[in-house]
């Protein structure tokens, strides 16, 4: 199984994610030509090698009409009632890449806000629809943008369709988001795992005043994502980076056991005591085995309803699997073998539940080793609504399965059979 691991211990920004993933592919120059040939008006994406803290990596810059917008994250939006104010939060640590003073940065942002148009989600959809890219990548780009727009909608209490982006800012963000979505499509990992995200600490200056790090939109996007502030006083995670992580990452945690094939370092523009980079690693994960317990009990004096109730309680208690087998017992009595699979750490709990909810007077234990496919659940948007898809891979095979409840709901609502509903959903994957 091909696994992509992303280390977000120094935050996550769109340009840094782009640079880290870019280092994982063999034809980096070809990719840059492709992204620059998509026709995003006035946008040029450039990459150069940088040495930071003794580590060589790639730094990506997005230029609009030949001008680089610096460290500001352009995923921030603002509502159209505040056209005269800039909403781009920037770090209050005076370490901007162009060494402007705080006042000159502020004036620079205001001057841009006065003469640039604003673009909403409908315009973003129009721009993306005109790109010469696959429908899958278009869907990923719009899904990431929707995450940002929904966060801004929540922060500003405005409907999503009324959220507008700075023209320069949205082009910058489109370039970063499109690049990451294209790179993810090219790398095509079976699973994406990320470390907890470091947001940075301190405060940022916004049009509405001084805000804590992470900025409000970033904090909203990171709900449900493991994150922490760290010791660096700067905005390390931007809304664009947070949205990309939220969209693509399947699970969070430590780097899995894997045979690493390529490593990429995406360098930020600021310098801190620790190296300012996102690291991405891709490789084959080791096929999984683990140890489980099988707890067995024979009963011959329980009703079917009581057995069903006991099975439900065992599943609620954390059993990996519970099943029954009809057996013949002494004195020719028909009976039921109840078998429970559980983790070693759940042994005591499972034994107690078996004794509590069945009539058995003894439980047998067998220690077994099982071979398992890695699995995770993804929620995808379809024409029929959201559907949870269970994906499994390992030992040279991969498969997917739609969650029963979601397919049953679609079949019922649309007067389809289960098979028809699943076929319609799978067409969109």
List, as one string, the DSSP characters of 9-62: BTBB-HHHHHHHHHTTSS-HHHHHHHHHTS--TTEEEEEEEEEETTEEEEEEEE
C-alpha span between 188 and 194 (Å, rounded):
16
- Is 359 within 8 Å of 335 (Cβ atoms)? no
Angle between helices 167-187 and 121-129 (to 10 degrees): 50
SS3 per residue for 50-68: EEECCEEEEEEEEEECCEE
Nearest-angstrom CA–CA distance, 264 and 195:
15
Angle CA 293–298–301, to nearest 5: 145
Per-residue pLDDT of the chain (429 residues; tens, 9 = 90+): 789 999 999 989 999 999 999 999 999 999 999 999 998 878 899 999 999 888 999 999 988 887 775 434 433 433 333 333 333 443 334 333 333 333 333 333 343 433 344 567 787 888 888 899 999 999 999 999 999 888 888 877 777 676 665 433 467 788 999 999 999 999 999 889 999 999 999 987 766 678 898 988 899 999 999 999 988 999 999 999 999 999 999 889 989 888 999 999 999 988 888 889 999 999 988 777 778 999 999 999 999 999 999 999 999 999 999 999 999 998 888 999 999 999 999 999 999 999 999 999 999 999 998 888 888 888 888 888 889 999 888 887 888 899 999 999 999 999 999 999 999 888 877
Strand, helix or coil for residue 166: strand
Residue in the block written with tokens 């739609």: 402
Q: Which pLDDT score is estimated for 100?
A: 36
pLDDT value of position 375: 80
Output the pLDDT for position 164: 62
Q: In degrees to the nearest 10, what's the CA dihedral of 345, 350, 351, 357? A: 170
SS3 content of the chain, % helix, strand, coil (to 5): 35, 35, 30
318 token code pair: 């954390």
H or E element that contains 217: helix 216-221
Beta strands in 329-410 (DSSP E): 334-342, 364-372, 374-382, 385-394, 397-402
Q: Specify the pLDDT at position 119.
A: 66
With vertex at residue 109, the alpha carbon angle to CA 69 and CA 243, rounded to the nearest 5 degrees, is 60
Give me the pLDDT at residue 422, please: 92
DSSP H helical ranges for 229-303:
239-248
Note the pLDDT of residue 207.
60
Q: Is the peptide bond before 403 cis (omega within 30 degrees of 0)?
A: no
Q: How far is it, in rounded angstroms, from Cα 20 to Cα 280? A: 6
- Look up residue 160 and give its DSSP letter: G
The position carrying tokens 């995200």 is 197
- Please answer whether residues 291 and 347 qualify as being in contact, where contact means their C-beta atoms are separated by less than 8 angstroms: no
Q: Are 181 and 141 in contact (CB under 8 A)?
A: yes
pLDDT of residue 182: 97
Task: Characterize the bridge pairing of strands 321-328 and 334-342.
Answer: antiparallel
| Residue 102 confidence (pLDDT) | 36
Name 292's bridge partners. Answer: 368
What whole-number distance in Å separates Cα of residue 148 and Cα of residue 311? 43
Q: Position of tokens 């870019």? A: 22
């Amino acid at each position: 199984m091909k696994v992509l691991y992303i280390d977000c211990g120094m935050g996550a920004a769109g340009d840094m994610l782009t640079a880290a993933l870019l280092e994982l592919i063999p034809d980096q120059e070809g990719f840059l030509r492709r992204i620059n040939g998509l026709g995003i008006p006035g946008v040029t994406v450039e990459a150069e090698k940088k040495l930071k803290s003794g580590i060589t990596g790639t730094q990506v810059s997005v230029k609009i009409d030949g001008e680089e917008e610096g460290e500001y994250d352009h995923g921030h939006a603002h509502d159209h009632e505040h056209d005269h104010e800039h909403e781009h939060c920037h770090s209050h640590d005076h370490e901007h890449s162009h060494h402007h003073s705080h006042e000159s940065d502020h004036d620079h942002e205001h001057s841009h806000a006065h003469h640039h148009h604003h673009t909403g989600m409908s315009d973003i959809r129009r721009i993306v629809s005109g790109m010469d890219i696959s429908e899958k990548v278009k869907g990923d780009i719009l899904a990431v943008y929707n995450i940002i727009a929904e966060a801004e909608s929540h922060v500003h209490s405005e409907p999503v369709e009324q959220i507008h982006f700075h023209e320069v800012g949205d082009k910058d963000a489109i370039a970063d988001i499109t690049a990451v979505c294209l790179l993810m499509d090219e790398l095509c990992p079976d699973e994406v795992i990320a470390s907890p995200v470091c947001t940075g600490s301190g405060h940022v200056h916004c049009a509405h005043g001084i805000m804590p790090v992470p900025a409000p939109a970033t904090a909203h996007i990171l709900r449900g994502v493991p994150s922490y502030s760290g010791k660096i006083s700067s905005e390390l995670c931007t809304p664009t980076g947070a949205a990309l992580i939220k969209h693509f990452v399947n699970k969070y945690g430590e780097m899995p056991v894997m045979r690493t094939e390529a490593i990429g370092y995406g360098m930020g523009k600021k310098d801190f005591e620790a190296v300012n980079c996102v690291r991405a690693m891709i490789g084959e994960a080791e096929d999984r085995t683990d140890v489980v317990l099988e707890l067995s009990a024979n009963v011959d004096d329980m009703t079917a309803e009581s057995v069903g109730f006991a099975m439900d309680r065992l599943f609620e208690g954390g059993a990996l699997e519970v099943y029954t087998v009809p057996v013949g017992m002494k004195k020719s009595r028909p009976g039921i073998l109840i078998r429970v699979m559980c983790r070693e750490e759940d042994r005591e709990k499972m034994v107690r539940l078996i004794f509590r909810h069945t009539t058995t007077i003894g439980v047998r234990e067998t220690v077994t080793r099982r071979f398992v496919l890695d699995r995770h659940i993804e929620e995808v948007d379809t024409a029929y609504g959201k559907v949870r898809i269970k994906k499994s891979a390992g030992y040279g095979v991969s498969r997917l399965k739609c969650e029963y409840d979601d397919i049953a709901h679609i079949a019922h609502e649309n007067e389809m059979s289960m098979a028809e509903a699943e076929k319609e959903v799978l067409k969109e994957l």
